[in-house]
Amino acid sequence: MRGDIAYKILGFLEDRGADVVDLMETFLESGYGATVGKIDYKYGLKQQKRQALKFERDKKRNLQKYIFKLRSDGLIVNYSSQKIYLSVKGKKKLESLKKNKIFDESLYKRENGDEVIIVSYDIPVLFNRERDGLRNVLKVLGFKMVHKSVWVGKVKLPEQFISMLEKCGILEYVEILKVTKRGSLQSV
């Protein structure tokens, strides 16, 4: 029918703009007898593919920028064209970051216990960051806050929790008690 192609293109563009290249490719791939719905569907697939490629390209570009920043900060070095390595400064930075990752919540798993445990602390202002990290770990372990510095839970405390308190230098400010069957408190 005369004007059929024009009708399909104009019908497709009726309520939107379109990328000319994608429209041409879609129209040619769909074939002469394709309906506006088929053209619309194929055009949508092309746009999704283009968006996915753009997203991947942007992710790669952001990673390249970050690697460039690490290189310009002297934290990584290139010894060959395809490999990068930590510099001495980078190793020091990594050690510093590891010390700050003591409160990494992913290291602690909740495990139900038989006894009620009470964790109470009075940590000086000097250790604000450590106090916040301690609260986050207590939440992950399943303790409930009774007061900002008093937490109660029927959970098992992992040994690494105690060593974490010691590494941070706040063990002396933390009291860990368990409620015995007789109803008295016993220091852990």
Domains and CATH numbers, the chain: 4-55 (no CATH), 104-187 (3.30.70.240)
- What is the pLDDT, as a whole number, of residue 26? 77
> How large is the average pLDDT for residues 118-143?
89
Number of CB atoms found within 10 A of residue 129's CB: 11
Separation of alpha carbons 159 and 179, rounded Å: 19
pLDDT higher than 90, residue 119: yes
Residue predicted with more confidence, 8 or 168 = 168
56-60, 82-86, 113-117: which is most confident: 56-60
pLDDT higher than 60, residue 81: yes
pLDDT higher than 60, residue 43: yes
- What is the pLDDT, as a whole number, of residue 61? 93
> How large is the average pLDDT for residues 74-100?
81
pLDDT higher than 70, residue 49: yes
CB 49 within 8 A of CB 57: no
pLDDT higher than 90, residue 120: yes
> Max CA-CA distance within the chain?
95
Separation of alpha carbons 142 and 110, rounded Å: 6
Residue predicted with more confidence, 42 or 12 = 42
**Dihedral sign from CA coordinates of 163, 167, 168, 170:** positive
CB 102 within 8 A of CB 164: yes
DSSP, res 61 = H
